Amino acid sequence: MKPLRRFVMPAMALALFFGTIGVSQATGSWVTSGRQQVAAGTPLGTADLKGWMTLEQAAEGLGMPVADLIGMVGAPADAVTGATAFKEIEAIVPGFSLTTFRAAVQARLDARSKG
């Protein structure tokens, strides 16, 4: 019985360690991807647009209609939806660059705020 008791505390420590990670991941508190959650009403700047974001997330953060962003992408009809991520658009639209797109969106936002 004595040798078994020697492994109880290390086993409990490992269970506590990995259990904490599991619970944190299950509740959404543990994030390792570097992606920020974009909630409705959270303002974004054009510099905040990332390749993993969808057009819908970008539109919500920028306060623009999704249809406007889809039109600015320059994709063939019905090739892009609001659920399409920017990194996917790069494969659909030849020559699409998120850097160039950010500048175009910023110009559109500046024009909208002036007039």
Angle formed by the axes of helices 66-73 and 98-114, nearest 10° = 130
Looking at residue 79, what DSSP letter applies?
S
Query: Do residues 99 and 52 both lie within one domain?
Result: yes
- Tens of pLDDT, residues 52-101: 888 998 888 888 889 888 888 888 878 898 899 999 998 888 888 889 99
pLDDT of residue 103: 92
Query: Do residues 105 and 52 both lie within one domain?
Result: yes
Query: Do residues 2 and 54 both lie within one domain?
Result: no
Question: Is residue 36 domain-resident?
Answer: no
Identify the domain containing residue 96 by its residue range: 46-114
pLDDT of residue 1: 53
Question: Is residue 37 domain-resident?
Answer: no
The total number of structural domains that make up the chain: 2
Query: Do residues 54 and 110 both lie within one domain?
Result: yes
Amino acid (one-letter) located at 89: I
Query: Do residues 81 and 106 both lie within one domain?
Result: yes
Query: Do residues 63 and 94 both lie within one domain?
Result: yes
Question: Is residue 39 domain-resident?
Answer: no
Query: Do residues 101 and 72 both lie within one domain?
Result: yes
The pTM of the full predicted model, rounded to 2 decimals, is 0.63
Query: Do residues 101 and 60 both lie within one domain?
Result: yes
Question: Is residue 96 domain-resident?
Answer: yes
Cα dihedral sign for 25, 47, 86, 63? positive
